[in-house]
Chains A and B, each alone.
Chain A
């Protein structure tokens, strides 16, 4: 446990991207200088008032920020526990928190003079958010997506193509998100002169975990301002789902030094942690090195990365952002997991009781929040990051009920 009052905000990562023993820069030599150039540019622009103003304007007028906070009264009533509030990232342009990051990175790409954007995607949300900003800025865009994910996220593939992006199917390895990330890295190493790689979560080599966090931290900054206005005080607990961990860190980060606020990251337990069919590296994995950083991984005894399972494509990733690994070890945040079935139940509950159809990823956070709320008093508050809307998941949910739409 963190018993000290050490300040966490602003202290991590160190100059080389380390969060305690995690993070860092584990890439081939060819990428070392380009990553250094990126770090330098990012640090410079984050101090640049004109750049920050442009970013703020985009977040306000293009993304639709600030996103509201909504008190789910009927659901809270039904659960008969703590009051559940939702941070409505589902109302952002393109339907998820992912766009907060792509707007920021695309702006950076333009300021760095890059003309081509590449991205990896699992559920397709980050791919859509990347294709969206590329369209708006007139940049060429290539999105790498595992063949398995292309098959289960058809609608998003079509959206990306409509937006003018080229979607490249990745046939190597397990043909899912991790392989798409490998392939995007290979593209970047080959086309590094004109290409900017927009990573979609707080993973990858330094400076990505810190940079993506900083672009997503707008979620928590707004929440910290909104909660006192709306609920009269800050929440007792924060809950967010963790795939790579970007929506979670976005909410958590501005609260890290508020030690009285409990923090819960929710991983995908798939068919159950005991089944081995899950995507919960923090709950059931061990530390290793993948995709440019040291973090908790799902790996076998030989150090090979193993396939993950989750009903939600956006959580189907064998690694997790290094800052979460550090928050876990330091005891500042708790990491738990909920199964496909629990997430689906929460999906239906929120839809029927509050008239909000959540993304399956976010449904994991909702499922845990419901459990947690029931252990708390009615005058306490749980703030859940509703990271995205469920439109993209209609097929998956219908298929679970044996329907085809």
Chain B
């Protein structure tokens, strides 16, 4: 059963905005991913988004593309990713895990097979970047049968009609892509963000997360004041990349970056 709902309810009570770090499974070494996930939790992660490596990550900027490439040097497969989640679950029963990736690795495993194994491993939800609601109905049904949430993206280009439909279909939370562009893009505009989030909230009671373009603690703090969750990807993955040759140092680096964001966010809320 997905723990996302519970987690967000808890955070709401504490008047906290969720912090959701993203890393790519297997980057830069498959054997340290589970440790890194625990480091992220220690530094204040409420939910973890784990990337499934893919050879053709069309919606990702260079930083996350290279993360996929590093993981694929070790042939990290979707099965390996599920196995990592399962090991993480043995140590952490509270932090929801959302898988983020592209459809083809899931399609080749089979929707049914994937949903069963993901639920067994302790996955809570899935965000499939190249599976819009129009094509996603069968997958969504199967996820639902296994108690998993399907998280859909809303983009700056989404029309009112699309927003309404996506909100109807989403489970867990709605993920607003804050910029036109790929992951790691810059130029996030808080004011227009706020307006878009208001529009989304008119359509749903689900929490609304914001991702793409949150680069530093300051942006995270600003976004946390208007959203229910802040997703941070490239800012963390670029630290992984810088230390790819010294993997023993990555955990500490991620903890440093993420706890900085956590503090900035928590201070901002209490202002």
B130 touches A303 (CB 8 A): no
B109 touches A303 (CB 8 A): yes
B157 touches A26 (CB 8 A): no
- B185 interface contact, C-beta 8 A: yes
Q: Pick from B70-78, B195-203, B247-255 the stretch touching chain A.
A: B70-78
Give the CA-CA distance A301 to B78 in the complex, in Å: 11
A30 touches B134 (CB 8 A): no
Looking at B60, B107, B130, B131, which has the most chain A CB atoms within 10 Å of its CB? B130
From B65, B109, B135, B180, contact of A26 by CB (8 A): B135
Interface residues of B in 140-170 (CB under 8 A from A): 152-159, 162, 166
- A386 interface contact, C-beta 8 A: no
B152 touches A29 (CB 8 A): yes
A29 touches B158 (CB 8 A): yes
B153 touches A33 (CB 8 A): no
Q: Pick from A64-72, A81-89, A178-186 the stretch touching chain B.
A: A178-186
- A256 interface contact, C-beta 8 A: no
Give the CA-CA distance A398 to B172 in the complex, in Å: 60
Q: Knowing A190-B182, A303-B105, A304-B105 touch, does A29 contact B155 (C-beta < 8 A)?
A: yes
- Minimum distance in angstroms from B138 CB to a CB of chain A: 11
B130 touches A33 (CB 8 A): no
- Per-residue CB contact flags for chain B residues 172-209 toward chain A (1 = under 8 Å, else 0) read 00000100111001000000000000000000000000
A33 touches B135 (CB 8 A): no
Residues of A contacting B130 with CB < 8 Å? 26-28, 289, 292
Give the CA-CA distance A159 to B56 in the complex, in Å: 29
- Per-residue CB contact flags for chain A residues 360-390 toward chain B (1 = under 8 Å, else 0) read 0000000000000000000000000000000
Interface residues of A in 290-305 (CB under 8 A from B): 290-292, 297, 299, 301-305
Give the CA-CA distance A172 to B68 in the complex, in Å: 11
Residues of A contacting B69 with CB < 8 Å? 172-173
Q: Knowing A189-B59, A299-B104 touch, does A33 contact B182 (C-beta < 8 A)?
A: no
- B121 interface contact, C-beta 8 A: no
From B58, B59, B105, B177, contact of A302 by CB (8 A): B105
Residues of B contacting A304 with CB < 8 Å? 53-55, 72, 104-105
Residues of B contacting A303 with CB < 8 Å? 54, 78, 104-109
- Minimum distance in angstroms from A136 CB to a CB of chain B: 29
- Minimum distance in angstroms from A258 CB to a CB of chain B: 33
Residues of A contacting B65 with CB < 8 Å? 172-173
B62 touches A189 (CB 8 A): no
Count of interface residues, chain A, beta-carbon cutoff 8 Å: 37
B56 touches A302 (CB 8 A): no
Q: Is the interface of B mostly helix, strand, loop or mixed?
A: loop
B59 touches A28 (CB 8 A): yes
Residues of A contacting B107 with CB < 8 Å? 288-289, 303
A34 touches B106 (CB 8 A): no
A32 touches B162 (CB 8 A): yes
Q: Knowing A190-B182, A302-B75, A304-B105 touch, does A29 contact B153 (C-beta < 8 A)?
A: yes
- A254 interface contact, C-beta 8 A: no
B62 touches A172 (CB 8 A): yes
B104 touches A186 (CB 8 A): no
Residues of B contacting A191 with CB < 8 Å? 180
Residues of B contacting A25 with CB < 8 Å? 132, 134-135
- Minimum distance in angstroms from A62 CB to a CB of chain B: 33
A30 touches B104 (CB 8 A): no
- B61 interface contact, C-beta 8 A: yes
Residues of A contacting B152 with CB < 8 Å? 29
- Per-residue CB contact flags for chain A residues 27-51 toward chain B (1 = under 8 Å, else 0) read 1111111100000000000000000
Q: Knowing A303-B106, A304-B72 touch, does A30 contact B177 (C-beta < 8 A)?
A: yes
Give the CA-CA distance A304 to B79 in the complex, in Å: 13
- Minimum distance in angstroms from A128 CB to a CB of chain B: 24
Residues of A contacting B62 with CB < 8 Å? 172
A190 touches B181 (CB 8 A): yes
- B103 interface contact, C-beta 8 A: yes
Residues of B contacting A297 with CB < 8 Å? 104
Residues of B contacting A284 with CB < 8 Å? none
- B222 interface contact, C-beta 8 A: no
Give the CA-CA distance A29 to B169 in the complex, in Å: 14
- Minimum distance in angstroms from B258 CB to a CB of chain A: 25
- Minimum distance in angstroms from A311 CB to a CB of chain B: 23
From B56, B105, B106, contact of A173 by CB (8 A): B56
Q: A32-B158, A33-B159, A172-B66 are in contact. List 18 more A-B contacts (CB 8 A).
A: A24-B134, A26-B135, A27-B58, A28-B58, A29-B155, A30-B181, A32-B134, A32-B155, A172-B62, A186-B182, A290-B104, A299-B104, A302-B77, A302-B105, A303-B106, A304-B72, A305-B55, A306-B55
| 14 residue pairs A–B, Cβ–Cβ below 8 Å | A27-B58, A28-B129, A29-B153, A30-B153, A30-B181, A32-B158, A32-B162, A172-B66, A182-B58, A186-B60, A186-B181, A190-B181, A302-B79, A305-B55
**Interface residues of A, Cβ cutoff 8 Å to B:** 16, 24-34, 172-173, 178-179, 182, 185-186, 189-193, 288-292, 297, 299, 301-306
**Interface residues of B, Cβ cutoff 8 Å to A:** 53-62, 65-66, 69, 72, 75, 77-79, 102-109, 129-132, 134-135, 152-159, 162, 166, 177, 180-182, 185
